[in-house]
Amino acid sequence: MQEIVLYTYDWVPEPPRGFVRDLRLRWALEEAGLPYRVASVSFKERGPDHIAHQPFGQVPWLTDGELSVFESGAMLLHVAEKSEALMPTDLKGRSEVREWLFAALASVEAATQPWSILKFSGLDGDTKEWAFFDNFVDLRLKRMEAVLSDHDWLVANRFTSADILMADVIRLMDRFGKLADYPACKAYVDRATARPAFIKAHADQLSHFAAAD
Ligand SMILES: N[C@@H](CCC(=O)N[C@@H](CS)C(=O)NCC(=O)O)C(=O)O
């Protein structure tokens, strides 16, 4: 089997540590027990070699032999294709994993990302704009609360790569206490992040960035 190489920044400032999206892939690769190594690219200088792999100059991306894949959702699908630990083998289960992967990005992260950018920037004051984005997140969390009230995991009563992505997206809301009114979402995040693969992925990311301080 070819070695998977996962690319992330060499260093990032303190606030995003533990939340940089390479974590999604570290977590998936740990769950699947697939061999991989992590390589660094400069956070400060994003040169043409970087842009050739990730057109927005962001991280993560991965290489698998000659193949280079960017976008965390596409990368998760790529890795999930390699392991039943991340995706069931039947048509329905596979389709549902894809649905929830897209839902995590296009429906939930589409709301949580602008919210978290405003929050990180201190723009969460008493403004119409903040109320709009806060309400947008509440709309999505209310629906996820209903889904997770009677499901431990999103697909086929078992953990899949869809849970890696959804839990990682919702986890950022927990950081700011936004899950206080959403007990099923909070329990889901706690359940997912108690998994040994998450704990290792998270600790590995923290030490990777700390090593460059
Ligand atoms: N949609 C992309 C988003 C990637 C992304 O936002 N990466 C962040 C780190 S988690 C980044 O590189 N930020 C620096 C920047 O945007 O310049 C994905 O899911 O892979």
Query: In terms of CATH architecture, what is 4-85+197-210?
Result: 3-Layer(aba) Sandwich (3.40)
CA of 190 to the centre of ligand 1 (A): 24
Whether residue 153 contacts residue 159, with contact meaning beta carbons closer than 8 Å, is answered with yes
Q: Give the rounded distance of the alpha carbon of 203 from its chain centre.
A: 15
Whose CA is closest to atom 6 on ligand 1? Answer: 58
Q: Report the share of the chain in percent with pLDDT over 70.
A: 100
Q: Give residue-wise pLDDT tens across range 125-164.
A: 999 999 999 999 999 999 999 999 999 999 999 999 999 9
Q: Which pLDDT score, from 0 to 100, does residue 191 have?
A: 98
Instruction: List pocket residues of ligand 1, CB cut-off 6 Å.
Output: 20-21, 57-59, 71-72
CA of 69 to the centre of ligand 1 (A): 14
Who's near 73: CB < 8 A, 6+ residues apart? 101, 102, 104, 105, 165
Cα→Cα distances 43→8, 10, 11, Å:
9, 6, 6
Q: Is the dihedral of CA 97, 99, 100, 106 positive or negative?
A: positive
> Model pTM?
0.97
Q: What are the residue ranges spanned by the domains of the chain?
A: 4-85+197-210, 91-195
CA of 116 to the centre of ligand 1 (A): 13
Of 3.40.930.10, 3.65.10.10, 3.40.50.1370, 1.20.1050.10, the CATH number of 91-195 is 1.20.1050.10
Q: Give residue-wise pLDDT tens across range 94-128.
A: 999 999 999 999 999 999 999 999 999 999 999 99
2 has pLDDT over 90: no
